Amino acid sequence: MDGRANQDSGINIKVDDLVRVRGQLSGLRQANSQRRASYRSGAREVRIRGRGMEYEESRAYVSGDDVRTMDWRVMARTGEAHTKVFAEEKERHFLIAVDLSASMFFGTRFSFKSWTAAQVAAHVGWLASFAGDRIGGLIVSPGWHHEVRPGKTRSGLLGVFHYLAQASRIELPPEHSHNRFNFLLRELDRVVKPGSIIALITDFIGVDDQSAEILSTLVKHNDVNAYWIHDDTEINPWPAGHYQILAEQRRVGFDLVGSAQDTWLSQRQQAHREQIETLTSGFNISLLPISCNRPVTPQILHNLVL
């Protein structure tokens, strides 16, 4: 980490920092950004489904009504045919799903991936707030998770900010064998309301075949937009030299000096990237890579087609 670490900036998530993001986006209209958004640099256009339908009342059946909307409970009570009447929802649910697994508490310069993930959550959350969406969230850390149910006005978004800050202060356990990425996806599948927009913010560490199975059910009834949080060392070649890493509570050193080691690292990086791109493209999920080594706002705004 660079000198920012000494000032606690870029490491600990603070609610005030996330609230201030609103001022950086105040000139944008969500109707001209998210709802017409597509991502440059080869990413796929975001698919926006029609608004959901909400039950309003039941009335007497009229010839020509869709039999699939028959209200059988009222019919059983009154003995007369009734049909359900639905009103178009005025608001959509916008769910911010943030992966704060142990791998997210890492960064070589500027910020940790966890801090960047929170900034991305603030950016997409404020944009959804401008559109009047009901915002909720799901935050998963190594040994803790919390759901924020979609709330009116800004209550849901501020709730997400609160738990993001809380998660960043939790001491990480020495090791955690469970796949927290898949746990996040399973919890999403459990709590999400059909017709929602999901902002999935993660480094995709732990993605596997089970991830694809869970995502396949999520994308059937919801729009999923993915934000791949990464450090540049996870996608670029490393300079030759001696490195020390912490593995299973032990500090391990290794030298990166030969072409064989360099090739091995490059292959691991490429395999992970291809795994992410295959997963998201297979489900037509928009994918936006976000580096934790640079400010978030320019990366977000550069990829919004207004």
Task: Give the DSSP per-residue string, 230-257.
Answer: E-GGGTSPPPSEEEEEEETTEEEEEEE-
What are the beta bridge partners of residue 100? none
What pairing do the DSSP bridges indicate for beta strands 134-141 and 144-151?
A: antiparallel
Q: Are residues 82 and 184 in the same domain?
A: no
Distances (CA, A) of 214 to 203, 208, 219, 220: 17, 10, 9, 11
What is the rounded distance in angstroms from the CA atom of residue 20 to the CA atom of residue 28? Answer: 15
- Taking only the tens place, the pLDDT of each residue in 80-105 is 888 887 655 556 899 999 999 988 99
Entry pTM: 0.76
Q: Decide which of 88, 110, 137 is a domain's last residue.
A: 88
How much is the pLDDT for 30?
41
How much is the pLDDT for 225?
94
DSSP 49: P
Q: Are residues 114 and 35 in the same domain?
A: yes
Q: Are residues 33 and 123 in the same domain?
A: yes
- Taking only the tens place, the pLDDT of each residue in 21-35 is 998 887 665 444 444
Beta carbons of 43 and 56 less than 8 angstroms apart: no
How much is the pLDDT for 16?
94
Lowest mean pLDDT among 182-186, 240-244, 271-275, 294-298: 240-244
270: its two tokens:
């490429």
Q: Are residues 259 and 279 in the same domain?
A: yes
Q: Are residues 159 and 58 in the same domain?
A: no
Identify the band that residue 40 occupies on the pLDDT scale cut at 50, 70 and 90: very low
Identify the band that residue 299 occupies on the pLDDT scale cut at 50, 70 and 90: very high
Lowest mean pLDDT among 57-61, 125-129, 174-178: 174-178
How much is the pLDDT for 138?
95
Instruction: Tell me the HSE value of 218 on the side-chain side, using a 13 A CA sphere.
Output: 30
90: its two tokens:
């005025």
Closest CA to 292 of 201, 171, 214: 201
Inform me whether the pLDDT recorded for 139 exceeds 80. Answer: yes
Range of the domain at 203: 3-49+91-302
Would you call 7 helix, strand, or coil by DSSP? helix
How many structural domains comprise the chain? 2
H or E element, residue 87: strand 82-88
Q: Are residues 149 and 284 in the same domain?
A: yes
Q: Decide which of 61, 88, 115 is a domain's last residue.
A: 88
Q: Are residues 191 and 148 in the same domain?
A: yes
Q: Are residues 279 and 217 in the same domain?
A: yes
Instruction: Tell which wins on pLDDT, 156 or 67.
Output: 156
Q: Are residues 237 and 110 in the same domain?
A: yes
Inform me whether the pLDDT recorded for 37 exceeds 50. Answer: no
How much is the pLDDT for 58?
84
Q: Are residues 154 and 60 in the same domain?
A: no
Which amino acid belongs to residue 233?
T
Q: Decide which of 37, 70, 88 is a domain's last residue.
A: 88
Q: Are residues 298 and 198 in the same domain?
A: yes
∠ CA 109-115-120, rounded to 5°: 115
Q: CA torsion sign, 192 to 195 to 201 to 207?
A: positive
DSSP 280: H
Q: Are residues 65 and 148 in the same domain?
A: no
